[in-house]
Amino acid sequence: MRNLRLQFEDECYPVRIGVRCSDEILSNLLELDASSYHLITDRTVSQLHAGALCEQLSTQAIASLWVVDNGESFKSLETVEHLAKEMVQAGIDRASVIVAVGGGVIGNLAGLTAALLFRGIRLVHVPTTLIAAADSIASLKQAVNLTVGKNLLGCFHKPTSVLIDLNFLRTLPVTQIRSGMYEIIKNALIVAVENIPLLERGLKPDANYTDSELMAIVEAGLLAKQKVMKADKCERKEAIVFEYGHTVGHAIELAAEGRVPHGEAVGLGMIVAAEVASRLGRLSEADRSLHHRLLKRNGLTVQLPPGVTISAVMALLRTDNKRGYVGARPDQVAMILLDGLGVPAGPVVRPLVLVDGSLIQSCIEDCLTGIKDIAIEENRQ
């Protein structure tokens, strides 16, 4: 397995990446010498990967499999409480290890559960989606949603290690591979511009990447985040730039109630962010067009998902988790914008720009619906 080490100020942890390396994952877990192992997964991954891993682990250690329902709607404090209660009744203790086997939702559920049980026990990520392997595991943040907003309840908790078998990604549907690639595109636009030519040549609409290409994609994603996060472990200063596209993207994702992959929602959010920056005179037409070109080449349909209304998106923007970083009027939203490729707008220490809600709404209407008066009609009904 290839070894990386991610540094977050005074915190660090290893990331090991391989192909068809389940035996090595098992060995790495057993080296932790845990009193018991608790694998958290969802129904789909339980059948594909987690069940077999737990069965292997059970031959040499005490191991339990905890299965939650699929989907963003179950990323809640209620699920965390249920998991914690069941684990305590099953004998989990301070020497145990929680293993997250799944995508970003499972990673957050397991991470927050590990952070809260006994005020913090060991956590290992075994990501099974591209977005988790190449992006979300490179963080100390653990959080769940409220019905009024994404990632509003959480804390910081460092994983002990991350173990990645790229073969697990082979069971993903095309939409999930694309979802991960949107985050890679985002990283290139904001901090890793050297990867843009590679993306222009290498993005595949069918998302059919080789093992070596997936290895390069995962490493590129993790190293791009490392550039900034090594000096900002809580992602409250310079590293907040990785929220690019997430302001509108999170609102779309939550309004869609789990029907839209996270990365796709972020892709739509980047389209809106580029349009906002362009209208404010910050982003050139060439750079705005590059957003569209890369995102469409990754398969993005530049349109609000069915059933998602502009009024719902605008309401959710008011609860964005970046509120309070800068003083804002009720009709303003703090956004990550670009002055150019790799050039975040606003203060270097915290690159946020206050944008009038009316401008954001206009950009959503024009970019994602083409119907400027839709919100007016919704208000009349």
Q: What pLDDT score was predicted for residue 148? A: 87
Contact 270, 189 (CB under 8 A): yes
Contact 140, 78 (CB under 8 A): no
Sign of CA dihedral 48, 49, 51, 56: positive
Better-predicted residue by pLDDT, 326 or 301: 301
pLDDT surpasses 50 at 379: no
Q: What pLDDT score was predicted for residue 87? A: 98
Lowest mean pLDDT among 66-80, 174-188, 314-328: 314-328
Classify residue 135 by its DSSP letter.
I
Please name every residue paired with 153 in a beta bridge, in sequence order, or none if there are none.
Answer: 144
Tell me, rounded to whole angstroms, the distance of Cα 62 from its chain centroid.
31
Range 357-364 average pLDDT: 97
Domain edges within the chain: 2-170, 174-380
> b/e map of 315-326 (b: 16 or more CB within 10 Å)?
ebbebbbbeeee
Classify residue 238 by its DSSP letter.
G
Q: What pLDDT score was predicted for residue 181? A: 97
Q: What pLDDT score was predicted for residue 249? A: 96
Q: What are phi and psi of 38, to 5 degrees?
A: -125, 100
pLDDT surpasses 90 at 210: yes
Q: What pLDDT score was predicted for residue 376? A: 37
Average pLDDT of the chain is 94
Q: What pLDDT score was predicted for residue 381? A: 42
- Please name the residues in contact with 50: beta carbons below 8 A apart, sequence gap of 6 or more: 39, 41, 65, 67, 101, 102
pLDDT surpasses 50 at 373: no
Catalytic residues: 141, 243
Right CATH for 2-170 from 3.40.47.40, 3.30.470.30, 3.40.50.1970, 3.90.600.10: 3.40.50.1970
Q: What pLDDT score was predicted for residue 371? A: 54
Q: What pLDDT score was predicted for residue 261? A: 94
Q: What are phi and psi of 116, to 5 degrees?
A: -90, -35
CA–CA gap between residue 254 and residue 246 (Å, rounded)? 11
Tell me, what amino acid is at 315? A
Better-predicted residue by pLDDT, 380 or 336: 336
CA–CA gap between residue 34 and residue 20 (Å, rounded)? 24
pLDDT per residue over 41-62, tens digit each? 999 999 999 999 999 999 999 9
Q: What pLDDT score was predicted for residue 149? A: 86
Tell me, what amino acid is at 60? Q
Range 256-267 average pLDDT: 94
- Please name the residues in contact with 380: beta carbons below 8 A apart, sequence gap of 6 or more: none
Contact 235, 242 (CB under 8 A): yes
Q: What pLDDT score was predicted for residue 374? A: 39
Residue closest to 7 by CA, chosen among 190, 215, 232, 238:
232
Residue closest to 296 by CA, chosen among 183, 164, 204:
204
Please name every residue paired with 17 in a beta bridge, in sequence order, or none if there are none.
Answer: 2, 164
Confidence of residue 237 (pLDDT cuts 50, 70, 90): very high
> b/e map of 179-209 (b: 16 or more CB within 10 Å)?
bbbbbbbbbbbbbbeebbeebeeebeeebeb
What's the first-to-final CA gap in the chain, in angstroms? 58
pLDDT surpasses 70 at 372: no
Element (H, E) at 379: helix 374-380
pLDDT surpasses 90 at 380: no
Q: Hey, what CATH class is 174-380 in?
A: mainly alpha
Element (H, E) at 155: strand 149-156
CA dihedral 280, 281, 287, 293 (to 10 degrees): 50
Tokens at residue 80, please? 């965390």
What's the pTM value of the predicted model, to 2 decimals?
A: 0.89
CA–CA gap between residue 369 and residue 364 (Å, rounded)? 7
CA–CA gap between residue 232 and residue 243 (Å, rounded)? 14
Residue closest to 334 by CA, chosen among 323, 345, 342, 343:
323
CA distances from 248 to 108, 244, 307, 312 (A): 21, 9, 16, 11
Tell me, rounded to whole angstroms, the distance of Cα 108 from its chain centroid.
10
